[in-house]
Amino acid sequence: MSSDGKQDGQLEIAHVLFIDIVGYSKLPINRQSDLLRQLNEIVRATEQFRRAEVADKLVRLPTGDGMALAFFTSPDAPVKCAIEISKAVGQTSALTRQIRIGINSGPVDAVSDVNDRSNVAGAGINMAQRIMDCGDAGHILLAKRVADDLGQYESWQPYLHDLGVVEVKHGVRVEVVNFYNEDFGNAQLPEKVKRIREEQVAVDRRASRVAARKRSLVFGSLSLLVVGIAGSGLLFHRMVPHSSSGIPDRSIAVLPLENLSDEKENAFFAAGVQDELLSNLAKIKDLKVISRTSVMQYKVGITRNLKEIAQQLGVSNVVEGSVRRSGNHMRVSVQLIDASTDRHIWSENYDRTLADSVTLQGELASEIAAAVGATLTPQEKARVEATPTKNTAAYDAYLRGRALEAGWTADFSNFEGAARAYREAVTLDPNFALAWVYLSSADSGLYWERVDRTPARLAAAKDAADRAVALDPNLPEIHLALGYYRYYGLRDFKGALEEFQLAEKSLPNDVGVLRAIGLIQRRFGHWDEVITVMRRAFVLDPRNIESGAILANAYAAKRLFPDAMAVADHILAIEPANINTIWLKTYCYWGMGNLGAADQFLANNINAPLHLRGHQALNSHRYG
């Protein structure tokens, strides 16, 4: 690209392909030269390279053992180029399975190099290299944002295979996607990803021993604090009111219930009772019910200030209580508290047999809703009070699955355990439609997360969903199962969106549904729709960083930088070292042309990575 095409200091978005020869430094010098010459010839012969070069929309950066190509054309240009390179290399015995490619779209800045030649630098190029470094010979790895762009087109969808979040250099965490089919790329799991997953498993096991397990969304998640702060108060006052007069009267947070059972392994039962109570309350449109992810941060054993908790969650009422199970009997004690006055609005003790536990959660939800003055439609009342099964053992297994699914481990062992529990439930009661629903969703999730990406697992997810439909076609949760099957299993994003939108009508407070809709709308580039639905999810799950990150990035995509930065501030309030959010806020400053504010932000942030500070220096023309 000519020097006339770009001016120093002008920030642009480049679509970058980074490629190198694996094991290059260990080769004899003559062998290095020969392979590099062959690679250069292959790259220069590709159609995408020639088109971009003729249009003066390409910058070439030699790197010694490979090169970086910065395309200023379309997002799929480097992907198409990678396919051409991979196929050509496959026909060249000398280079077969010796190259790897990383692709990213991101900001670059025109600079002058030491020879006074026009060049580019920036996060877009650096991140492409980091992504490439995650791969082995033959791999074509994409940044998630690139994969999301491609995923909007059915023709690309079969080639995209999520690898999840990978930590690269300087502690930066990126979502990586493997790009391959039978003609190009490498279908094997990269060794670096394997090692990272093993390390994550070890970390998770250590954390489990000290009871520090984290909760995420079905297949992955994080946490977000919503508190009013100066400078962003207007935005969040609209989203989550922080004064008692602005908080809806019919708003509830159900805190974790204390397990008073002598057998501590019955903790799953207390967790299951809470989860089912939340699920039933969430079906009532007249209520605002905070999601489980947010309330679990106030678990039993920590000091609880109900007024502060209610303010942080944006609710008027808090439910707390305990569960004691002994043999075939249980006692559930529940209190509904007006958090602003600490006044007990309603309380009740339920002494029941385990056989009665199946109907108890619906009864609890109805009484709590009535106590806060919520109005239930006949359909809602029927859904809340429905008895999912009459088989106590099946219901016990189902509750165990729900409790396991609510936990998270890096190796997804909890999710595998949940699938086994749901399968036990439907074995004990083949007519248990709700258990079939969650079994289907669990199987789809295990397929998506590559724990078991086999045709048998996908077929099991479809079979479980079909069984649920046959048993109770009017069950709202069926659309969850079908949505996840289409999303995770078939990559039928349009069909999945239709299912989740149907689920939303009957599950108005279900954050999982809202987030799924937001993620699919993001794939389609429908940013206004993403903002609308994720604002709702954010209100219902105000301590979930994933929800906040999706919303903040949607604001940034619409160039609504002040709104994006307000959300970023809340994320950083709960997780100051969140590198992706530090990047996002800095990028917003760049987008507004406020390099001075970016300087101040990075100077005051001890968690800002060194390479981000370097990009800021380049943008500010501090080359010395």
- Residue 328 sits in a domain whose CATH number is 3.40.50.10070
Number of domains in the chain: 3
Q: What pLDDT score does 298 carry?
A: 84
Q: Is residue 530 part of a domain?
A: no
Q: Is the pLDDT of residue 227 over 60?
A: no
Chosen domain end from 355, 387, 419: 387
Q: Is the pLDDT of residue 6 over 50?
A: no
Q: Is residue 128 part of a domain?
A: yes
Closest CA to 226 of 607, 546, 583, 569: 569
Q: Is the pLDDT of residue 151 over 90?
A: no
79 and 165 both lie in a single domain: yes
What type of residue is 570?
H
Q: What pLDDT score does 11 carry?
A: 63
163 and 302 both lie in a single domain: no
Segment holding 163, helix H or strand E: strand 160-167
Half-sphere exposure of 340 (CA within 13 A, CB side): 13
With vertex at residue 340, the alpha carbon angle to CA 335 and CA 345, rounded to the nearest 5 degrees, is: 30
Task: Encode pLDDT of 347-376 as tens digits.
Answer: 888 888 877 777 887 888 889 989 888 888
Q: What pLDDT score does 140 carry?
A: 96
3 state SS for 13-32: EEEEEEEEECCHHHCCHHHH
Q: Which residue has the higher pLDDT, 78 or 387?
A: 78
Q: Is residue 466 part of a domain?
A: no
62 and 189 both lie in a single domain: yes
140 and 267 both lie in a single domain: no
Q: Is residue 45 part of a domain?
A: yes
12 and 130 both lie in a single domain: yes
With vertex at residue 488, the alpha carbon angle to CA 487 and CA 490, rounded to the nearest 5 degrees, is: 70
Q: What is the band of 622 on the pLDDT scale with cuts at 50, 70, 90?
A: low
253 and 198 both lie in a single domain: no
Chosen domain end from 352, 387, 422: 387
Q: Is residue 273 part of a domain?
A: yes
- Residue 405 tokens, joined: 């699914």
Q: Is 316 helix (H, G, I), strand (E, B) or coil?
A: coil
In degrees and rounded to multiples of 5, residue 607 shows phi and psi of: -90, -5
Q: The domain spanning residue 109 has which CATH number? A: 3.30.70.1230
Task: Encode pLDDT of 454-487 as tens digits.
Answer: 999 999 999 999 999 999 999 999 999 999 999 9
- Computed over every residue of the chain, the mean pLDDT equals 83
Distance, CA of 21 to CA of 138 (rounded, Å): 10
What average pLDDT does this structure show over 197-201? 60
Report, in angstroms and rounded to the nearest whole number, the Rg of the chain calculated over CA atoms. Answer: 26
Domain that holds residue 566: 550-619
Q: What is the band of 340 on the pLDDT scale with cuts at 50, 70, 90?
A: confident
Chosen domain end from 367, 387, 407: 387
Q: What pLDDT score does 380 carry?
A: 87
Q: What is the band of 293 on the pLDDT scale with cuts at 50, 70, 90?
A: confident
Q: Is the pLDDT of residue 95 over 70?
A: yes
78 and 195 both lie in a single domain: yes
Most confident by average pLDDT, 31-35, 107-111, 151-155, 550-554? 550-554
pTM of the model: 0.61
Q: Is residue 573 part of a domain?
A: yes
Residues 273/290, Cβ–Cβ less than 8 Å: no
